[in-house]
Amino acid sequence: MKNQWKHRIVCLALGTATLVFGGCRSTVRVTDSAESGTQQLLMNSSADAVICSFDFTLLADRRCYLDTTGLGKANSGYLTYRLREQMGSFGVRLSETRDDAEVIVEAGLAAYGTDSRRDTVGITDVDRLPDLYLCVDDVQYGVAKLSLFAREKETGLVIWHSGAMRADSYQDIRKVLGSGPYYTGTIQHSGTRVGH
């Protein structure tokens, strides 16, 4: 009977110590797609910011065809859609073919991608010791740089130029003393919306 009480007290003490001193861990699942959701959000957030800065007022009421050859691999999908949407919001009459247009708008993409940086504070790369991180700061950046110009189809005369425009986006993921991750930045990560 005495041994049972000792066993129960030891189990209770170990259970309490586990609850008090035990840590927790949060992980973000990385997908197998060519670009993660975060990368796509960063790139498209930058593209949105750049495209919103274009003023197509001088092309209002003109029948324009958007030539996306200069967008390279990104010449279909979201970038093209957003450029056409922005043109339409300024009253540009969008043409589906070159033949029907009086003005050709050419788009050029200089940069469209992501970069990342990791800073760590703690004990790392020491023989026979495990890595011990006090703080980990992961930052991902998205960048988009676009330029547009418009020319009359018949004469080739350039009648409008946007200049090279650039916008950046970022996401900062920080862990401090085992707590976190804490998200900040220009995009909202899905990890911050779990349970909402």
pLDDT tens per residue, range 33-78: 677 778 888 998 999 999 999 999 999 999 999 999 999 887 668 9
Q: DSSP for 124-173?
A: -S-TTS--EEEEEEEEEEEEEEEEEEEEETTT--EEEE---EEEEEEEEE
| pLDDT the model gives residue 195 | 46
How is the chain split into domains, by residue range? Answer: 34-190
- Class of the domain covering 34-190: alpha beta
Give yes or no for residue 15 having a pLDDT over 70: no
| pLDDT the model gives residue 75 | 65
pLDDT tens per residue, range 85-97: 999 999 999 999 9
Whole-number Å distance between alpha carbons of 22 and 42: 35
Read off the tokens for 166.
Answer: 């650039």
Alpha helix stretches (DSSP H) within the chain: 2-21, 37-52, 78-89
| pLDDT the model gives residue 27 | 63
What is residue 31's DSSP assignment? Answer: P
**Length of the chain, please?**
196
pLDDT tens per residue, range 138-191: 999 999 999 999 999 999 999 999 999 999 999 998 988 878 888 888 887 655
pLDDT, greater one: 76 or 120: 120
